[in-house]
Amino acid sequence: MVWTRGVLALCAATLVAAVQEPYVLPMHEPGTPLSGRFLHITDMHLDTGYKEDSAVVSSCHHNKPHDKHGGEWRAGHWGTPVSDCDSPLRLGNATLDWVARNWNVTSVDRHESVQPKDMFDFVIWTGDSARHDQDPLIPRTGDQTLAANRYAVDLMERTFPNIPIVPNIGNNDIALHNIMPRGPNKELRQFLEIWRKHIPEDQTETFLEGGFFAKDVIPDHLGVLSLNTLYFFDSNKGVDGCPKRRRSMSRDEADIGTLQLEWMTQQLLRFRRRNMQVHIIGHVPATAGNYFPRCFDVYTELVLRFQDTIVGQHFGHMNLDMFFIQESALATASRERKARANNMPVLMKRVEEDLRLDYESLPGSARTNMDYYASFYVSSSIIPTYYPSVRVWTYNTTPVHDNRPGLLHITDEDEAALLDYVRFDSCTPHDTDPDCAQDAPTLLLAESSDVNTQKKQRKHSRPKRRSKRRHNKLPRYASPDAPIRKNTFLTPLGYSQWVLDLPKANKLYEKTLRNQGPDAAAALQVDFDLEYATYPGTTLWHEYFDDKEAPASAKQRHSHRLPSQHHIPVPRHLLERKLQQLRMDSPLKCHVGGCHT
């Protein structure tokens, strides 16, 4: 998706500032510095039944069929791209082995007398470690699903032994696909046992009830909320879709989705009182096509209300590299007019067209109230639905300071108003206000007679949301000086996306096996390639500008100092690999000649 990649870069740039400010590493204080990096891993889908050279049409499990009925397509050694097959265990192992080999020491580390503690400051892991239950000849059992999750966490712990890992439950990590009722239940107790090292002790009770938890990954500075998005997912038949609670209803009678939204509100308030920033992670992305209508509306409004506290939202599940723009219910009028004028039936929209419409209908920067907008990211998967992929983020580690002077005070009235909105949506048991009706929001284009608005056909279209007066009464914690909008401590600076050319890796294995034998083939490792990065060329390649062969004019133009004083988003040896693939000695030849790096 070339268009998506281009807009991704633009979107990432707008997170920090219109023009990205220079990133300068702090002077080293006693102790180990932060690396300024974190890793996003998602959707491994490990399959112990994967069989090399089996028929792809058999989910890569069986030798038959052979020459007919699609049997001529055979499973590859490392996995089978653009197929319905899950991942062989060796693909999961090889992926994390590549991460450990290539991100353990970066270019900047070699210039420093004090080494960062680890290759990453933390790892976010957004679920779906078990295979799909799609082979009727080998039905997936609960024990197999549990074993896959045990294997995956062991693999993660061996690769990142001293790094905070934040796990998350996927819709294929449970015995019944998509279905998870409220806890405590057997599955949540099993997950607690498997993830015991990664769930804080004070979050145990919360996790047993709902599978969600909060965790400090940089103590007193940065936290992560790991949501159980199955309770928002409209394919989960074990929940009710975040309905409003009657004021006479006890907590035990409430829907777990509503309770998770209450917990999320309380956690965001808690982190904000501590002057901390927060990443939110989940498996199923927060789109109108994935979530129950009220779960979607309340979640979206909450993340926009805490814009000065949330620095990122990260999801998996889609197996695609995507991002979405979130907007407040108070900022939808112009967008709805644009959608009606477009008059495109929902069913004919592809994801890319939906994203394009969302982006093009946004008002210009001069007319945009940034308090009403945010974005979230969906990373590609390890499972080769397309090509295996991982994502490495970087963030600002400049000296700590107060990012929101004078804005930290939270009154009891503000907290009560937010919780009342989440729990009851400001409705009393006898409220006749139309906004208090339980009906699901209508879709964009709902006024068009040729649009079918059934839930299963909503795709990723955004619902038409009425501007509700009560929203104006809720506190809004937003600031142009917050890390999500200004380049400061903990601001996300961008990411690099890494992809494995699976056909090439499989061919190399087959050639080595044929020419050198099984021992040589078994010793092969895989190498992921840089697919794209969301950094300016002068940031990505700046070490090359510091080399002696760089023209003096280039050095002066980019004001480069020592490499240790700069943000290093990608280790130099990986950039050199990219240059070799492009048959270039240096990016400067292209840059000085007038093309863009």
Domain boundaries, given as residue ranges, for the chain: 2-31+38-499, 537-597
Instruction: Name the maximum alpha-carbon separation found in the chain.
Output: 79
CA-based nearest residue to 551, from 588, 595, 597? 588
Distance of alpha carbon 234 from alpha carbon 192, whole angstroms: 25
Torsion of CA 578, 582, 588, 591, to 10 degrees: -110
413-419: long-range contacts, CB 8 A cutoff, minimum separation 24: 414/475, 415/269, 417/473, 417/474, 417/475, 418/265, 418/269, 418/302, 418/305, 418/474, 418/475, 419/262, 419/265, 419/266
Q: Are 94 and 54 in contact (CB under 8 A)?
A: no
In this prediction, residue 479 carries a pLDDT of: 87
CATH for 2-31+38-499? Answer: 3.60.21.10
* Mean pLDDT (10-residue bins), the chain, 597 residues: 36 38 35 86 97 94 79 90 96 97 63 56 97 94 96 97 96 95 96 97 97 96 98 96 88 95 97 95 95 95 94 95 85 53 47 70 68 90 95 88 57 88 67 45 30 39 48 82 91 96 97 97 96 90 68 47 63 90 79 47
Q: Mention every residue, 6+ apart, whose C-beta is less than 8 A from residue 402.
A: 275
Q: How far is CA 364 from CA 193, 337, 359, 374, 483, in A?
A: 50, 16, 11, 15, 22
In this prediction, residue 539 carries a pLDDT of: 86
Q: Which residue has the tokens 């988003």?
A: 569
Q: Which residue has the tokens 């092969």?
A: 524
Write the burial class of residue 235 (CB in 10 Å: 0-12 exposed, 13-18 middle, 19+ buried): middle
Angle of the 351-360 helix axis to the 333-342 helix axis, nearest 10: 130
Distance of alpha carbon 498 from alpha carbon 39, whole angstroms: 11
- How are beta strands 37-41 and 389-395 bridged, if at all? antiparallel
Distance of alpha carbon 182 from alpha carbon 256, whole angstroms: 6
Question: What is the chain's Cα-based Rg?
Answer: 25
Distance of alpha carbon 397 from alpha carbon 403, whole angstroms: 13
Length of the chain measured in residues: 597
Distance of alpha carbon 481 from alpha carbon 492, whole angstroms: 14
In this prediction, residue 115 carries a pLDDT of: 45
Concatenate the DSSP letters of all residues of 335-397 into one string.
Answer: HHHHHHHH---GGG--HHHHHHHHHHTSPPGGG--GGGEEEEEEPPPSSTTSS-EEEEEEE--
With the C-alpha atoms ordered 497, 291, 295, 197, is the resulting torsion angle positive or negative? negative
Q: Which helix (H) or strand (E) holds 323?
A: strand 322-327
Q: Mention every residue, 6+ apart, whose C-beta is less than 8 A from residue 499.
A: 380, 387, 388, 389, 528, 529, 531
Write the burial class of residue 70 (CB in 10 Å: 0-12 exposed, 13-18 middle, 19+ buried): exposed
Residues of the chain by 3-state class (helix, strand, coil), percent to 5: 40, 15, 50
Neighbours of 588 (CB within 10 A): 18
Q: Are 388 and 91 in contact (CB under 8 A)?
A: yes
Tokens for 306, please give them: 């805490």
Extended strands (E) in 500-574: 529-533
Q: How far is CA 369 from CA 277, 462, 470, 478, in A?
A: 22, 19, 19, 11
Distance of alpha carbon 425 from alpha carbon 435, whole angstroms: 9
Distance of alpha carbon 243 from alpha carbon 259, whole angstroms: 10
In this prediction, residue 378 carries a pLDDT of: 96
In this prediction, residue 69 carries a pLDDT of: 63
Q: Which residue has the tokens 């390890």?
A: 382
